[in-house]
Copies of this chain bind each other. A is one copy, B any other.
Amino acid sequence: MADEYGRLISSLAVANEKRIALLVMDGLGDVDHGGRGTALQQARKPNLDALAARSALGLLVPVATGITPGSGPGHLGLFGYDPMVYEVGRGVLSALGIEFPLESRDVAARLNFCTIDKSGKVVDRRAGRIPDEENRRVLAKIRSRIHPPPGVEVFFETEAEHRAVLVLRGEGLDDRVGDTDPQAVGVEPLAADRPPFDASRTARIVADLLRQVRSILADEPKANMILARGFAKHPDWPKFADRYKLRPAAVAGYPMYRGVARLLGMPVVARPTAAADVCAEAARALKDHTFVFAHFKYTDKTGEDGDLAAKVRRIEEMDAALPVLLEAKPDVLLVTGDHSTPAPLKAHSWHPVPVLMSAPFLRGGDADRFDEIACRRGQIGTILSKELLPLAMAHAGKLEKFGA
């Protein structure tokens, strides 16, 4: 796919000192709960509602109709990178999630510890979800005994429980490596260098490393093998600062979101998690950046837990914290989510996400509250997430006229 819209925006971008703040309330969108409305409808949020009354409202489709995005695609959309064009492999996302300093020549994969029986068949694809400490102990054992081939560095890094990350570093490596996770029990792991992957030197290196791992872990009771999938290289994408002529900063307490920011070359300036801290750090970052991405995780977490009451409380927390961010007087303030995480689904969903844009040069006639229903009739309309940042840039005078 071609990124025609993104290239057009980039070609029209001009630098100025106007400041755009993007507050992402992760998983913000919700659905009706038995006729009592969505989490946003149920929350008491006087600051957001007052802001809505002088803002433009709308809905964002993160990827395309019916598509439920992961966190990576959800944020790429908000950063104006079409998630259907800028696809990022699982291995790279996992490496970013633990803030591994990936280089462009690296190949990364997501690892699962698993349990195999004596014949080599997988009996538990998650090795009984071993605790983090056991994960670290077993990886240390692998590190101390593994022999990578000359010219290749190998990194085994803990993520959490049974999850880990593998990074291979060296010249001439590629990502044409087969997933070894058979996605089923009762069968052996797949060979990383099975056809058509046998043409890749990297695949043969991985296959050899995994043979070594099997022998190193032979005496482990649970985590006696690893499964690898999603081999991917760090993508060579346009950097956010160059693409938009913005001076960006990320404020994010969770590694995954810092990782996505770094993928676009966006420096991380603070790592708050609580609503008050997120707003305070975002306000601070606005002093010397023209774009600040601030991430609030708990609206997603509570949605994933299916805990509507907690999600409502988290929205109210952010509402109470908001004045600190408003006092920093961003020229354009965007409040939205990377996707919906409706509590009844306990998962990300495809539902369009409410968005609020406080900016100069608005039309009126929107609502005096911020929720999914009010946003449906807002002046922004229903647009793709990737269209939001260009819209904000337009309101900030950062996009030149197209054509004479």
In the complex, the answer to whether B66 meets A393 with C-beta atoms within 8 Å is: yes
A225-255 interface bits toward B, Cβ cutoff 8 Å, 1 = contact, 0 = none:
0000000000000000000000000000000
Copies, count: 2
Contact of A65 among B12, B71, B383 (CB under 8 A): B383
In the complex, the answer to whether A69 meets B390 with C-beta atoms within 8 Å is: no
SS of A interface (majority) = loop
- A8-B84, A394-B350 known; A399+B361 contact, CB < 8 A: no
In the complex, the answer to whether B363 meets A71 with C-beta atoms within 8 Å is: no
A330-359 interface bits toward B, Cβ cutoff 8 Å, 1 = contact, 0 = none:
000000000000101101111110000000
* Distance in angstroms between the alpha carbons of A58 and B91 in the assembled complex: 39
Q: Is A272 an interface residue (CB 8 A)?
A: no
Q: Is A210 an interface residue (CB 8 A)?
A: no
26 A-B pairs whose Cβ atoms sit less than 8 Å apart in the complex: A1-B2, A8-B67, A9-B67, A31-B363, A63-B402, A64-B387, A64-B390, A68-B400, A68-B401, A68-B402, A70-B404, A71-B403, A72-B403, A73-B402, A87-B403, A93-B403, A93-B404, A342-B361, A347-B401, A348-B401, A350-B399, A351-B361, A363-B372, A365-B376, A376-B379, A376-B381
6 further contact pairs, Cβ within 8 A, besides A72-B403, A364-B373 = A8-B64, A66-B387, A68-B402, A69-B403, A342-B361, A352-B381
